[in-house]
Amino acid sequence: MIRIFDFDKVAPEEILNRDIRAEADVEAVVDGIIADVRRRGDEALRDYARRFDHAELDSLLVSREELEEAFAAVGEEFLTTLRMAADNIRHFHEQQVHRDFMVNDTPGVVLGQKYTPIQRAGVYVPGGTAAYPSTVLMDVIPAKVAGVGEIVMTTPAGPDGRVNPNILAAAAVAGIDRIVKSGGAQAVAALAYGTESVPAVDKIVGPGNIYVATAKRKVFGKVGIDMIAGPSEILVLADGGCNPAWVAADLLSQAEHDRLATAVLVTDSPALARAVQAELEVQIPALPRAAIARESIDTNGKIVVTDDLDKAIEAANLIAPEHLEVCVADPFAVLGRIRNAGSIFLGRHVPEALGDYFAGPNHTLPTSGTARFSSPLGVDDFVKKSSFIYYTPEALGRVKDRIADFAEREGLHAHARSVTIRYEEGR
């Protein structure tokens, strides 16, 4: 049963303990896998597919025929849903596109900044206990909007050697360029270093288990990554006017993800806290993934009761959740006071699932409290910024002595000379 805590009587670390560091044995396994993929390339990927996915792969790449078969398998109704969701995601992310700028308000001086999309991105899509076509849309479409030249997706095949048709259909709708049948740390290694079938990419995005997260951390520097994602989280900030059955259902929408997932209710209503605690016991047994939800709720779930809504907001900012539902009478009055959250869901009719699948904002979000300093996946993750400078000879001449003095105060005389030499007679 989920536990109830009094906010004023519990230490912050007791509210949410989230250590996403890998154990030493995970580190060792991932190191070995990365080294093996670098050494043996495609052969290693096939061996890992055989060992972990029980799949014999003639080709590591998804064929055009497989994509067409997936389209037929999922049906027109789901394809329509995918296209509608893709349109919403595309429209939202198009608002994030930056414009180059140039400043020319000083005579002889031009300053500016230009945005350049990365050349090749890798998207990791999980395929273990559940398949996530929504992740395909969320991770691929911002890259397409950003103008990335090529997008390579990796996802494991099943024992039949085929990728889940829902994932393939989403990939086709999103406009993926290449799909590789590989998962786990080995897929991350292939994206980072390249193999015969997998081109090396410039950045890797997408969620995964502890082996995937550890591999992303280890290849960072060779390639860019979006974030190190921990287990999924939801925090429901609710007042006493909420329906406890709705709140319990929203908590379970995360608890069913993973035994390590965290579901937290913060409320100023002791009555709601008790009602939600009871409602969870009613709803959990009815879930197909009841065993996962039960362990998540019993081990990581919490209900935090505060004296008032102000303290509830304080608790939410302290926890800095991945998903934050603001289920109060006037959610827009609260919005400006939320400092730390990956994605914010405003109102009692905005369950997290709306954002997970359909509304448009990205669902690849900072976890483990990193919403204190990081952001959801977006167009910015797929572009680089370059500044540029232009000075006429006259403009440089006006400031040359100041630059030289600055450089010499740092002991960098060649820096100073590189400026002043341009104004020496005969040089």
Rounded CA-CA distance 352/267 in Å is 18
Burial 26-62 (b: 16+ CB within 10 A, else e): beebbeebbebbeeebbebbbebbeebbebebeebeb
CA distance 87 to 85: 5
Residue with tokens 């288990």: 209
Helices then strands, each counted (H, E), the chain: 17, 14
> What's the number of CA atoms in the CB half-sphere (13 Å) around residue 363?
25
Give the span between the Cα atoms of 29 and 197, in whole angstroms: 23
CA-to-CA distance for 174 and 145, rounded, in angstroms? 11
Complete DSSP assignment for 64-113: HHHHHHHHHHH-HHHHHHHHHHHHHHHHHHHTT----EEEEEETTEEEEE
Q: What is the DSSP string of 19-44?
A: --PPPHHHHHHHHHHHHHHHHHTHHH
Q: Rounded CA gap, 1 and 191, in Å?
A: 42
Please state, in angstroms and rounded to a whole number, the distance separating the CA atoms of residues 2 and 305.
13
Q: Are 176 and 166 in contact (CB under 8 A)?
A: no
Q: Quote the Cα angle for 260-143-36, to 5°.
A: 60
Smallest CA-to-CA distance from 364 within 140, 122, 112, 70 is with 140
What token pair was written down for 257? 């993800």
AA identity, residue 94: E
Q: Backbone phi, then psi, for 392, in 5-degree steps?
A: -75, 165
Q: Across 186-301, where does the E strand assignment appear?
A: 203-205, 224-225, 233-238, 262-267
- Largest separation between any pair of C-alpha atoms in the chain: 89
Catalytic residues: 322-323
| Distance separating alpha carbons of residues 119 and 281, to the nearest angstrom | 50
Give the strand pairing for 383-391 and 109-117.
Answer: antiparallel
